Structure 1
Amino acid sequence: MILEAVMLQVKQGMEEEYEKAFRQASHIISKMDGYISHELQRCLEEEGKYLLLVKWEKLEDHTEGFRQSSEYQEWKRLLHHYYDPFPTVEHFVKVNL
């Protein structure tokens, strides 16, 4: 399993509209092959800042399966215009201690 982590900055005053759009977009990502779960967290200290965490079975489920799908085009249409600056996506793997 891998964890996709994205720090999102939503344009000022658009937070409520963004959260509504994200609820709609959640239905898209949750149907993708290799998808496990996701959550969106709102920052308490900084208005408009969010953390998106998505669990995938493997990296390619996100980078190839989702990102190269027609469903991703709808995801982009719903969400990408809210971000400024555009976010950097990072992927993590659990360290066994």
Structure 2
Amino acid sequence: MKKQTRRKFTPEFKAKVALEAVKNQQTLAELGLKFELSPVIISKWKGEFLENMSSVFEKGMKNGEEQGPDVDGLYAQIGKLKVENEFLKKSCKKLGI
């Protein structure tokens, strides 16, 4: 006898189902038949979708400012690479390469 495992759904699929539920063109029962899901799950996903939909527009923002690359971290990495490069150049000269 094979043990039944839980189905796992991708975030894209969940968003698609939740968006269909938000449109209110079909009942939750109809959507449940269409997507082979329980109306309770669809209702839960719809609630999560409505609760978190504002985060879509906050993705590139942090406290009202655009998030850019970590400039200090990049400069530190450049400095480290320069030191390593100079060390390798000196080592190659000593070895005659």
Q: Shorter-chain TM-score category?
A: under 0.3
Structure having the higher Rg? 2
Structure having greater relative contact order (Cα 8 Å, sep ≥ 6): 1
- Per the normalisation by structure 1, the TM-score is 0.27
The structure richer in strand per residue is: 1
TM-score by length of 2: 0.27
Q: Which has the higher helix share?
A: 2
